Amino acid sequence: MSDYHHFLSSMAGVGGQPNANLHASSPPISQHPAMQMVGTPMSNPYQSLGYFTGFPEPIMFNAPKAQRSRRKSAPGLDHIKHRRTRSGCYTCRSRRVKCDENHPICERCRKGKRECVYPEPTAPKGSGSVGSTGPSQQTSPSSSHGDDEDDEDFGQDANLDPIMDEDEDEDEPQSATTQLSMPRFPPRRSSTASSYGAQRRATDRRQDSETPSLDGNKSSSSPSLSGGTGSGRMPAISSFPGAVGRSDWSSLPHEIQFYLNYFYENMTHYHYCMVSDSDNFFRTALIGAALRDEALLYAVVGFAAYHHSLRNPNGRIKEFLQYYNRSVTLLLAFLKRKETPTATTLLTILQLATIEEYLGDWVNLMGHQRAALEILTQLFTPQSVMQSSASRMMLTWYARFDVFIGIMGSFETSLPREWFTACIDYYDSRAAAEPSSLGWKIEASAARLRFISMEMSLLFGKGARQDVAEEAYVAEHDRLSGALDEWRNSWDPALEDPAYLVTDFPRTHALDPEDIVNPFTPGVLFRPPLFTSTMLSCEWHSIALMLESQAIAEASDETRARMMEHAYAICQICETVEFWPLSPGGSLIILHPCLAIAALFVPRDAKHHMWIRKKFALLEVMGYISPLTMRRRMAELFRDESCVRWWLPNDEGFTPILQSIRTLADDRNATAVSSQSDNLRQVRHVFSKMYLGPASRGGSD
């Protein structure tokens, strides 16, 4: 795990921004198996969308000013522990510059027109903290903080370079180690929140408190977990908790309680892009494990705080970043102690990877993915991982990243084939043993579709490296096309029982003449417990569309028509899921990759383009941020450069909190790209296969 140790060190503090100079001798993230690429002879639509920032045209981003002038610390200073001031404002500390500590606004923030926030006074060690309910909640165990007592707030900066203002001298002296005790706060641009953010699905009905405190007070203390060390220690998988309720975290500080309650009431497996969760893993086992380990707790709480901040009109980005940074720092401290990773370590990494996905940071996501693979294969075998519901979900969680990244980037998956076949064998055997169980049938069907996707990833990876002859590629492509058709045609009748079809769809408003599909069409959705069938059907359309687009032969008129049908089917499902009042929370987010691929194959006219743009805007309002390179690609497709800033005209729905998150995400991606671009093998920038013929576009080019 030494490589991952270095990777985490580069992310500690400042919202996880990487540091290009840190541990220069360690292998770069680009050595991830998924990143060993050469130009591909075929156009992958997802690559053209720019999900992998820095792959197509890495020079698209200009390196931050901090990258232009690198200074080395004096020899030996890395090993000296320094007392660091914690009285400067958060913004200066996160930017790694000296703060003059003027109140209420320091000089740097005043000149840069930045948000200037100072830390709230904290109680001295040994005294009761504001939010704690007893002595046991005053401070976190010392073993959670790693080796340096002075780093216990949010970790070392690992000699990160400062971020300069336009008028600042780049040669301004900096200390060898600068305190990074709080995350970076991007400036809040003046913007009036429009009504678009309020026009979300009817499932977002719950009222959110404006302050993350159950009693109106804010707690700055860290929760102390009984037996927790922040190290990933936890009971054996077989002893994962079952039912978890609010009483289990009632002794924690109020802020932590607030976000755990929010997670429990609002988050679903769809927020994690999982098609099913028959054992309620995310509300039981995940929370239960988090209550026993601080690193995982802060990762889960950070994810909840992220979603809550977006739904809160007065939300601020620091509510999320402080927990995210705390989780990264605790995980890093655990790795520095060289303790043996456990299942909770794996869960923490997967949760952090999910946050990276929401921020559109695919480079850092793959760093987490590589570590997760190493731990997963150390802890389990393909057979043992299937022996508990918790470990099965961990495998599915990881495999989803593996397949998703592989399909999008034309990479081969990292997880060996036998892990996927072990899933199929296990779920098939359980479905045969319990023929009346819908759950096992759904899992078996999902496992088979995941296996086909994995095989597609292998084929696309070979094609990208030109490691397969054209005849062999065509033969395998045809075989996979047949496998996809067989998968859809061999569904168990119980998975599409017409009794569960939604046929009485209530019309909440009149049809919009700008809609490209009718959101109130009956028979598109299945009600629970078959709602998962709807998700699987949409995924099948997107995978079939992807496979069709990767054929070597030029698409015939029949093929183009079939691809258009897949694209419209995806749009129909997305529209209906959005407007059905009973759609589960997060169910539109899981459809994001399906919608992204469909956007490339619908007619290219103003009506279709605006419909797609509204959907991307809605997804970002829900927290799923589109990478800057994707926005650039879509701006080219829509022929409207304003999409790079925001999807809708006049900044409709572009709230201040969303602007702050966008700024953070773009900064992280720009830094990641500039630090990794020299090590990335450039993918040829092509759109030829992505575009359909003029006859099927439905509009002028």
Residue 501 DSSP class: B
Domain of 392 in residue numbering reads as 5-65+191-219+229-696
| Residue 461, phi then psi, degrees to nearest 5 | -65, -45
Residue 614 has pLDDT above 70, yes or no: yes
pLDDT in tens, 3-39: 676 667 666 654 444 333 323 233 332 333 332 322 2
Residue 444 has pLDDT above 70, yes or no: yes
For residues 588-616, one letter each, b for 16 or more C-beta atoms within 10 angstroms of the residue's C-beta and e for the rest, the string is bbbbbbbbbbbbbbbbbeeebbbbbbbbb
Flag whether 504 is in a domain.
yes
pLDDT at 388: 94
Q: Partners of 526 in the beta sheet?
A: 501
**Lowest mean pLDDT: which of 25-39, 271-285, 306-320, 508-522?**
25-39
Say what the alpha-carbon torsion angle 316, 321, 324, 328 is, to the nearest 10 degrees: 180
Average pLDDT over residues 271-300: 94
Torsional sign, CA 281, 284, 287, 292: negative
Residue 242 has pLDDT above 90, yes or no: no
Greater pLDDT, 214 or 275: 275
pLDDT in tens, 34-63: 323 222 333 455 444 554 433 322 222 222
pLDDT at 438: 94
pLDDT band at 508 (very low <50, low <70, confident <90, very high): low
pLDDT band at 405 (very low <50, low <70, confident <90, very high): confident
Average pLDDT over residues 569-574: 97
pLDDT at 245: 73
DSSP string for 375-442? HHHHH--TTGGGGSHHHHHHHHHHHHHHHHHHHHHT---SS-HHHHHHHHHHHHHHHHH-TT-HHHHH
pLDDT at 180: 25
pLDDT in tens, 166-215: 444 433 333 222 222 222 222 322 332 233 344 333 334 333 444 443 33
Average pLDDT over residues 457-466: 89
Residue 407 has pLDDT above 50, yes or no: yes
User: By percentage, how much of the chain surpasses pLDDT 70?
Assistant: 64
Flag whether 566 is in a domain.
yes
Greater pLDDT, 17 or 658: 658
| Residue 251, phi then psi, degrees to nearest 5 | -90, 0
Flag whether 268 is in a domain.
yes
Whether residue 104 has a cis bond before it, omega within 30° of 0: yes
pLDDT band at 135 (very low <50, low <70, confident <90, very high): very low
pLDDT at 381: 96
Q: Is the pTM of this model over 0.95?
A: no
Closest CA to 256 of 292, 289, 302: 302
pLDDT in tens, 534-550: 999 999 999 999 999 99
pLDDT band at 445 (very low <50, low <70, confident <90, very high): very high
Flag whether 79 is in a domain.
no
pLDDT in tens, 353-402: 999 999 988 878 888 999 999 999 999 999 999 999 999 999 999 999 99
pLDDT at 119: 66
Nearest-5° Cα angle at 316, 110 to 197: 120
**How many structural domains is the chain composed of?**
1
pLDDT at 6: 62
Average pLDDT over residues 84-99: 67
Residue 64 has pLDDT above 80, yes or no: no
**Lowest mean pLDDT: which of 269-273, 409-413, 586-590, 640-644?**
409-413
Q: How far is CA 390 from CA 173, 238, 343, 483, in A?
A: 51, 8, 9, 29
Residue keyed to tokens 């989780």:
327
Closest CA to 367 of 625, 58, 30, 669: 30
CA atoms lying within 13 Å on the CB side of residue 100: 10
pLDDT at 111: 81
Query: Hey, what amino acid is at 380?
Result: F
pLDDT at 1: 67
Residues 6+ apart with CB under 8 A from 117: 89, 90, 91, 185, 318
Average per-residue pLDDT for the chain:
73
Instruction: Extract the tokens encoding 686.
Output: 């092509």
Q: Are 333 and 156 in contact (CB under 8 A)?
A: no
Average pLDDT over residues 504-516: 81
Flag whether 125 is in a domain.
no
Flag whether 160 is in a domain.
no
Report d(CA 623, CA 303) in Å as an integer: 10
Flag whether 351 is in a domain.
yes
Nearest-5° Cα angle at 159, 155 to 165: 105
Q: Which of 19-28, 75-84, 195-204, 464-473 has the highest mean pLDDT?
A: 464-473
Flag whether 446 is in a domain.
yes
Q: Partners of 501 in the beta sheet?
A: 526
